[in-house]
Amino acid sequence: MDNISKTFCTAPWVHAYANKIKGKRKLCCNSVYQNDHDTSEVTDLEQWWNDDYMKSVRRRMLNGETLPECKICDPNDKKSITAGSYKDMWNEAYKDYIKTILENTTPDGETSLSPTSFHYELSNLCNFACRMCSVEWASKIEAEAKKHENYPLKRYERRYLKADHQNMIKPWQKRLEDELWKSVKDKTLTNIYFAGGEPLMWDIHWKVLTHLVESGHSKNVWIRYNTNLSRMHYKDYDLVELLKQFKRVEIGCSIDGGGPVGEYVRTGLVWEQWKENFKKLYQLRLYDKSRFQIHLETTITTPGLFGGMSELINFALEQDAKIRIHRAGPVEPDNLICPSAVPRSVMDKCIDDIILNVKQKNIRDSNYVIKQLLSIKNKPVYEEEFKNYDIDLRRGKEKVEFIENIRKGLTLKEIIKNSNNQKALEWYINI
């Protein structure tokens, strides 16, 4: 619509996001929490939807104000990685609904419409234990941390493991499931986003899917996932057959490298099995390209700099699949898994080699992949960003080795050694 403000986004009129770990709501997964310091339990959806904060968000958007909580979508924010693309996605998806939105909003920002889109991070239940993940997001790591004394944990992870926090989030989780389930049963759901832990391991995920298909409402629902793609069946149900019944499907299949290095990064991954699962899922694109968007979701990690990327690039080429690239975080000097931990002279060469491979293979959307890889290269590395980072990095190495001792098998040192990168090996040994 021509007369709509530049900062308008349909999400605060259609979408409900909540995180059971923080016990908090916000506008969408990419927005900034309004009161991150506030640890009190958040109200239920009905109260939140038209409370003073949400009304002010809608008012400010309609007035064309720049919202600090929507920093990531601000095209003027040079640091924004998406520069509006997430907002554009919401506005495109609900463009036919904008007139209804405007007609059903009072001048003070109250809306008579209810949320029909849900992204509820319901559980950390996951069958993988990826090296860059944490107890809050992966039940396998949680179990590992509980079992091993002196397990290296961040302060917020220790807080998460405390009994009082665990007791606090249980009812919160139940409430979120009930809210989501109500929308499914009432057939008001238009969009659902399933992401981590691992949604394919959650009973509620399969319950929602099967109910939507059996009730016939799936043909009205746009479904999105981030998944480790380790499971394709549940009881008698087949994921691919269920997904065929949905209006639109978008799936980011997490994979950070192929072969043994990929399996090292994502403990639990079986590369050969994963490829078969992806091929099966990818047949949905042959079934109907316009309705199914499926891509490889790849995080560049330190081990990934030294192996596994060429297997992944070959696989993407073979499948003609798009790769979406991210950098492993967080960017903290004791996180050795973030590739920025690697010295500039080593990292640049590794990224250049991956870029060369992408260029030579000419995989789908090569230009995008190269641009993302260059953007990782263009970010400061630890040695440029943090003073005395070597002390913290040593702690990071101890953590890596502590976990390697528990899990056994391949080590980061062996990965670097196998890459024949002498300079990198010297760096690692001398941390």
Contact 104, 112 (CB under 8 A): yes
Return the number of the residue (70 or 261) whose C-beta is nearest ligand SF4.
70
What is the crossing angle of helices 344-361 and 309-319, to 10°? 20
Q: Does 306 bind ligand SF4 (CB under 6 A)?
A: no
Name the minimum Å distance from CB 46 to ligand SF4: 19
Name the minimum Å distance from CB 16 to ligand SF4: 11
Q: Does 195 bind ligand SF4 (CB under 6 A)?
A: no
DSSP string across 407-426: H-S--HHHHHHHTT-HHHHH
**Residue count at the site for ligand SF4 (CB under 6 A)?**
13
Q: Does 70 bind ligand SF4 (CB under 6 A)?
A: yes
Place of tokens 């419409």: 113
Residue 392 token pair: 């913290």
Return the number of the residue (86 or 193) whose C-beta is nearest ligand SF4.
86
Name the minimum Å distance from CB 27 to ligand SF4: 4
Site string for ligand SF4, 6-25 (x = CB under 6 A): ---x-xx-------------
Q: Which stretch binds ligand SF4 (CB under 6 A): 4-12, 315-323, 341-349, 391-399?
A: 4-12
Q: Tell which positions 82-111 bind ligand SF4, by CB under 6 A.
A: 86-87, 90
Q: How many CA atoms lie within 13 A of 132 on its CB side?
A: 25
Return the number of the residue (32 or 270) whose C-beta is nearest ligand SF4.
32
Return the number of the residue (58 or 399) whose C-beta is nearest ligand SF4.
58
DSSP string across 193-215: EE-SS-GGG-HHHHHHHHHHHHH
Selected from 72, 312, 313, 321, the binder of ligand SF4 by CB under 6 A is 72
**Type of residue found at 204:** I
Q: Tell which positions 115-174 bind ligand SF4, by CB under 6 A.
A: none
Name the minimum Å distance from CB 22 to ligand SF4: 17
Q: Tell which positions 22-51 bind ligand SF4, by CB under 6 A.
A: 27-28, 30-31
Of 54, 33, 32, whose CA–CA distance to 45 is shortest?
Answer: 54
Helix (H), strand (E) at residue 129: strand 129-130
Q: Does 73 bind ligand SF4 (CB under 6 A)?
A: yes
Return the number of the residue (73 or 338) whose C-beta is nearest ligand SF4.
73
Return the number of the residue (28 or 269) whose C-beta is nearest ligand SF4.
28
Return the number of the residue (116 or 335) whose C-beta is nearest ligand SF4.
116
- 395 to each of 252, 328, 354, 383, 410, how far by Cα in Å? 32, 18, 28, 15, 20
Which stretches within 4-94 are classed as H helix? 11-14, 45-49, 52-62, 85-93
362: left (phi over 0), alpha (psi -120 to 50) or beta: left
Q: Does 315 bind ligand SF4 (CB under 6 A)?
A: no
Name the minimum Å distance from CB 355 to ligand SF4: 30
Q: How many CA atoms lie within 13 A of 10 on its CB side?
A: 23
410 by Cβ neighbours in 10 Å (0-12 / 13-18 / 19+) ranks as middle
Q: Catalog residues that contact ligand SF4 under the rule CB under 6 A.
A: 9, 11-12, 27-28, 30-31, 70, 72-73, 86-87, 90
